[in-house]
Structure 1
Amino acid sequence: MSNEPARHDTGPVAGETVRHGTGVESNRAFPTNTYPDHLDPFVLFERFFIQPERGFPMHTHGGFEIVSYMIEGGMDHGDSLGVTHTATEGDVMRITAGSEIQHSEFPADGAACSGLQLWVNLPREAKEVEPSYDDATGDDLPTEAEDGATVTTVVGDGSPIELRTRMEYLDVAVTDRWTWTIPDGWSGFLYGVDGHGTVDGDRFAAGDVLPVTSAEDLDLERDGAEAFRVVAVAGSPHEEPIQQRGPYVR
């Protein structure tokens, strides 16, 4: 691994507020007006906030995979495969839309909920695979105390959640200082979940995103007594065009 400093396209940028037609509000990391690009193999990432009596009625997706990770509250999932499931704080759901799937998302028990949703492109040869679903509880996800941080692996080594793209998705509570090492050739991003700190010396707060396309190491540091929580996501690019048309990626 090189000792050169991390290289990224821009410093941290603020996520953008998106109001969906169903009344759900999200903080979108990318693509946005500030950062209009996809991050191969990642299509889209946002934090959603669903208020009671709001949500997403049954709708269709195709051509990619969805990872939903709950931060607060619970969310009821239903789909055209006949699956119904309620995910609560710390739980994760994976949908492979493939040829096409329909699903719905509503807050559970009449209470607001919040979570993170990631869209991961499927490689060209897998665009038409049969749709599928999987989930895991927070207890199923490996959590380790590392130097300066506590790290939960949402997707990656030890996690039961698998995708058709080589990737890692880490939930990191920075307690002091922590270094994120990105595999050679991978792309990814950091997203601020709670609190604030610094990344390579730049201030980084909840709702901020740092897109990374050619970095190796990023140094994170907690700032003061407040909690500093981020997700660190990276994957191997498919090196294929990402052609998003609303709920489809072809």
Structure 2
Amino acid sequence: MVSNESLGGRDEPVPGEMVQHGTGVNSKRAFPTNNYPANLDPFVLFERFYIDPDKGFPMHPHKGFEIVSYMIEGGMEHEDSLGVSHTAYENEAMRITTGSGIQHSEFPADGAACNGLQLWVNLPRDEKEADPDYVDATQADLPTAEYDGATVTTVVGDGSPLDLYTDMEYLDVRVADEWTWTVEDGWSGFLFGVDGEGTVDGDAFEKGDVLPVTEARDVDLASDDGFRAVAVSGEPHDEPIRQRGPYVL
């Protein structure tokens, strides 16, 4: 795993990178990329996926980590080896614990393209063989709070029905003026631009940019015209992250 020190020692925004999956699905990946060639313990990878109507992910296996999918536009049909069949639409989320092994498929719903965000969270070493599990959440299930300068929806964290083996928080933030994101002591995480543009600690920040955060700190977001970002942080496991395709060993 690449350390922040080897990447220059300072957290600053970097652009995400377009990648194409073997099934023809395109994604804007936040990390790991050429711009940020590291995982962010406890997080394995994060990307925004774009699935055209004739593309998708046929049934395929996963194990050793947890997946949080959060829809931005359109709907995505999910089926898995647990017998679950569910379609998630805009501002709805799914959490999959792959654990000892699960198979699932993902395709756009209703004959229309879709896009959303997918996060892989490492399972701690002693939970790698956990029973596979699935939970979903509608927009109404996810608590939303209004602050001076921002509207914040909790995808994972206090009040959300989605919980993981890793202590973490996942916030969907719509900044209308100014808002401060606080990363807890001992945690790490990242900020990812979803739509619009603004500044992060005074640096320009726009759709597809990522700010890795490798230590506790306050991050100041501001925008004159409004922008949307997700702020994700969690407690590191301090264990190696070994990704082998669809598996995290």
Normalising by the smaller structure, the TM-score range is: over 0.9
- Percent of residue pairs bearing the same amino acid type: 72
How far has the Cα of 1:9 moved from its partner?
3.0
Quote the Cα distance in structure 2 between the aligned partners of 1:10 and 1:176: 23
Residue type matched to 1:201 in 2? G
Question: Do structure 1's residue 34 and structure 2's residue 44 form an aligned pair?
Answer: no
What is the aligned-residue RMSD (CA, Å)? 0.8
Q: Which residue number corresponds to residue 137 of structure 1? A: 138
Equivalent runs, 1:9-48 vs 2, <5 Å: 9-48=10-49
Question: Superposed, which structure 2 residues align to 1:1-250 within 5 Å?
Answer: 9-222=10-223, 224-225=224-225, 227-250=226-249
Please name the residue that 1:4 is paired with.
none
Q: Deviations over 1:197-248 (max 9, x none)?
A: 00000000000000010131000001x32x3000000000000000111110
Aligned length: 241
Alpha-carbon distance between aligned partners in 2 of 1:121 and 1:11, rounded to the nearest angstrom: 24
Q: Is the 8 A contact 1:75 1:88 kept in 2?
A: yes
Report if the CA contact (8 A) 1:174-1:221 is conserved: yes
Rounded Cα–Cα distance in structure 1 between residues aligned with 2:112 and 2:245: 28
Question: What stretches of structure 2 of length at least 5 have no aligned partner?
Answer: 1-8
Distance in 2 (CA, whole Å) between partners of 1:134 and 1:179 is 30
Q: Which runs of 4+ in 1 moved over 3 A?
A: none
Instruction: Tell me the secondary structure at the aligned position of residue 110 of structure 2.
Output: helix
TM-score, normalising length: structure 1: 0.95
CA contact (8 A) 2:11 2:214 kept: no
Using the alignment, how far apart are the partners of 1:88 and 1:38 within structure 2? 28
SS in 2 for 1:231: strand
Query: In the aligned structure 2, how far is the partner of 1:216 from the partner of 1:114?
Result: 30
Listed one character per residue, the Cα deviations across residues 154-211 of structure 1 (whole Å, up to 9, x for unaligned) are 0000101010000000000001000001100100000000000000000000000000
| 1:9 and 1:211 in contact (8 A); partners too | no
Instruction: Give TM-score, length-normalised by structure 2.
Output: 0.96
Runs (5+) with no aligned partner, structure 1? 1-7
Q: 1:3 — aligned with what?
A: none
Which SS does the other structure have where 2:83 is aligned? coil
1:60-91 per-residue CA deviation (whole Å, 9 max, x = no partner) reads 00000000000000000000001000000010
User: How far is 1:10 from its partner?
Assistant: 3.2
The CA distance in 1 between the partners of 2:146 and 2:92, in whole Å, is 19
Larger CA deviation: 8-17 vs 233-242: 8-17
